[in-house]
Amino acid sequence: MNTPLLVWIILAPLLGAILNAGFYFYHIKKQKVSDKIFSIIGTGTPLIAFLITLYLFLQMREEGVIFTQNLFTWISIGDLTIQMSFLGDNLAIFMSMFVTFVGWLIHIYAIGYMKGDDGFGKFFAYFNLFLASMLILVLADNPIILFIGWEGVGVCSYLLIAFYYGNKENVIAGNKAFIANRVGDFGFLLGVVTLFFAVGADSLSFSTIEANISNASTELLVLSGFLLFVGAMGKSAQIPLYVWLPDAMAGPTPISALIHAATMVTAGVYMVARFHFLYSGIENIGLFIAYIGAFSALFAAVIATKQQDIKKILAYSTMSQLGYMFIAVGLGFYSSGLFHVFTHAFFKAMLFMGAGGIIIALHHEQNIFKIAQHRAQLPIIHFTFLVGVIAISGIPPFSGFFSKDAILAAAFQEGEYLIWGIGMFTAFLTAFYMFRLYFIIFVAPTKNVSQHIYTSKTITFPLLVLSIGAIAAGFLNFPAIFGGEAMVDAWLTQLNSNAIHMSHSTEYILMAASIIVAVAGILVAYKKYAKFDIYKPESEEGIIANKFYVDEFYDKIFVQASKKLSTFIDKVVDEKIIDGFIMTVCNEFVSFGKKVATIQNANVRFYAGFMLVGMSCIFVYLYILLGL
């Protein structure tokens, strides 16, 4: 049913961004504006968005309706009609709920984190703009409007990663993120175009594509499914377009928490779920997606075991967990994948925010060994960090267990034992490196303890709220075998996800197996790191510690090659060959002219002789012509 409220979910943070930007310009040009104003606008508008979403959610629960809102016709040319309209169905509102909620909490956190920074207002303007773009993505009714949000979050990610732009490393990281995303977008755009022409529908909205999908030939559907996933590869940092994510940690921690943990990176998963009607029909592509997810998960986990920067460890862990989500949606278990998105948002954001709290308390120190050497007493952060680490390792009854286990069971049920095996091993590694992180930072013996520590309520309050989510969110999708109602799965029935239906004993065994694997990881980490000598940090040598040299490889193949090609085109082809050809033609004319001009040598006798010759020729010609 129609509602005018949907667009306000987006407009609230958008207006917040514009207001903050305006105030910020005033702040730098005329006179200072207090941080309070930026904070109030910056955190108030996401809260408004959340409240509207909550209201719509409750209405949907009660009445079982779907909300739509059509603003205007965006383009109407020939067969192509695209409407600027929004769709608030179960999936969209589900995503929107946790995006706005977690977003709001991170905005509050950012008040404390960015305190005293010159660009405080600018930060909140960008942050609100990001949230607005993410909501456009989630609430879009057709792929093009989704793409507007998709690129919008890409741009905001660029702006925020390069927030401290004076330092060129940050800007380079921002460029990398944007361009890697763009490679993905290239695929996405082509996927949409292929899909539109294959389906032959009139307007380009998800519902019409779904209705007409049988018109399309299977090859074209496979092609567009693949291309759309290329976009997801870029946005959600899967192999091979993941290289931007670790570098993106150059931005301030709140954005790592929001963008690169909870929201933007999950847009790829959302997109696959949104196109479920497409992917359910092309199972090969789905399998491909699942394999990419599995390998990305494994790859990232291996690298994370040797990283020494706290944010980079968390970044690789995000990529790893995203791999799990793609395993799920690739195999058709859309609601399980989205459930993992949901739980992951809580504990990953919390982990990042905790890491940020530590980083600030120790004056922007990010190396885990140095952090340990100057350990500070931060009880709340310690507690929430521990909660997060346990949750991500998949220990019941914390939320991570339920979502991860559902995915592993799905892989097992579908007969994809290789994926299941990779998933289990990765779970082991996850527990291992996360607890490595925990033990080094909080447990390994250290000599001195910092005294001057800074933390504030705006940092700790969101952490506590999220920890509740990390612990309890599992119960929202409590599996049936334990007597729960699987509410998330029920909510997302529109996706026609596959469901787990195996015998209870198999399920219990699988659950036990995943718990054992996780506990094994913790034990190995405990053995190695609980009493680690932090004053002798691990070496940074070796293939794994150097991230398998992928960055260097990409640099050589793409960046250096492009530069060489560019120089070649510019200096050789353009200047020498093409322009050279034209200039040669001109120079030939000029030199010919010069040669002819030597006749004009001002020598009188030469002229006389010339005249003689000329006249003689004329006479001879006339003689012959006139036949005399």
- Whichever of 133 and 430 has its CB closer to other proteins, that residue is 133
Taking the complex as a whole, the smallest distance from the CB of residue 28 to other proteins amounts, in Å, to 6
CB 419 within 8 A of CB 287: no
- Whichever of 582 and 625 has its CB closer to other proteins, that residue is 582
Taking the complex as a whole, the smallest distance from the CB of residue 284 to other proteins amounts, in Å, to 20
* 102: its two tokens: 């977690």
Query: What is the three-class DSSP state of 76?
Result: strand
- Whichever of 468 and 586 has its CB closer to other proteins, that residue is 586
CB 345 within 8 A of CB 262: yes
H-assigned helices in 200-333: 206-212, 218-235, 244-247, 253-257, 267-274, 276-279, 283-304, 310-330
Query: What is the three-class DSSP state of 71?
Result: strand
CB 69 within 8 A of CB 136: no
| Phi and psi torsions of 83, nearest 5° | -100, 145
- Whichever of 198 and 511 has its CB closer to other proteins, that residue is 198
Taking only Cα atoms into account, the Rg of the chain, rounded to an integer number of angstroms, comes to 31
To 10 degrees, what angle do helices 504-529 and 379-393 make? 130
Taking the complex as a whole, the smallest distance from the CB of residue 37 to other proteins amounts, in Å, to 19
- Whichever of 82 and 300 has its CB closer to other proteins, that residue is 82
Which residue, among 336, 343, 302, 335, has the nearest Cα to 319 in the 3D structure? Answer: 302
Taking the complex as a whole, the smallest distance from the CB of residue 135 to other proteins amounts, in Å, to 14
What are 83's strand-pairing partners?
73
* 539: its two tokens: 């070496």
Taking the complex as a whole, the smallest distance from the CB of residue 581 to other proteins amounts, in Å, to 9
| Phi and psi torsions of 563, nearest 5° | -65, -45
- Whichever of 516 and 615 has its CB closer to other proteins, that residue is 615
Query: What is the three-class DSSP state of 397?
Result: coil
Taking the complex as a whole, the smallest distance from the CB of residue 340 to other proteins amounts, in Å, to 28
Taking the complex as a whole, the smallest distance from the CB of residue 468 to other proteins amounts, in Å, to 36
- Whichever of 482 and 568 has its CB closer to other proteins, that residue is 568
Which residue, among 69, 82, 84, 73, has the nearest Cα to 203 in the 3D structure? Answer: 82
What spatial distance separates the first Cα and last Cα of the chain, rounded to whole Å?
A: 107
Taking the complex as a whole, the smallest distance from the CB of residue 75 to other proteins amounts, in Å, to 6
> Who's near 608: CB < 8 A, 6+ residues apart?
none
What are 203's strand-pairing partners?
81
* 444: its two tokens: 């390994």
- Whichever of 227 and 522 has its CB closer to other proteins, that residue is 227
Cα–Cα dist 260/250, whole Å: 12
Taking the complex as a whole, the smallest distance from the CB of residue 120 to other proteins amounts, in Å, to 15
Taking the complex as a whole, the smallest distance from the CB of residue 405 to other proteins amounts, in Å, to 38
Cα–Cα dist 609/196, whole Å: 81
Count the neighbouring beta carbons within 10 Å of the beta carbon of residue 587. Answer: 11
- Whichever of 503 and 601 has its CB closer to other proteins, that residue is 601
- Whichever of 377 and 616 has its CB closer to other proteins, that residue is 616
- Degrees, nearest 5: CA angle 27-115-105: 105
Cα–Cα dist 308/312, whole Å: 8
CB 242 within 8 A of CB 260: no
Taking the complex as a whole, the smallest distance from the CB of residue 216 to other proteins amounts, in Å, to 14
* Residue carrying the six token digits 């940090």: 537
Taking the complex as a whole, the smallest distance from the CB of residue 84 to other proteins amounts, in Å, to 8
- Whichever of 178 and 432 has its CB closer to other proteins, that residue is 178
- Whichever of 490 and 615 has its CB closer to other proteins, that residue is 615
Cα–Cα dist 453/378, whole Å: 8
- Which residues contact other proteins by CB under 8 A? 25, 28-29, 72-78, 80, 84, 144, 147-148, 150-152, 155, 158, 162, 165-168, 171-172, 174-175, 178-179, 182-183, 185-186, 189-190, 193-194, 196-197, 562-563, 565-567, 569-570, 574-575, 578-579, 582, 594, 597-598, 600-605, 608-609, 612
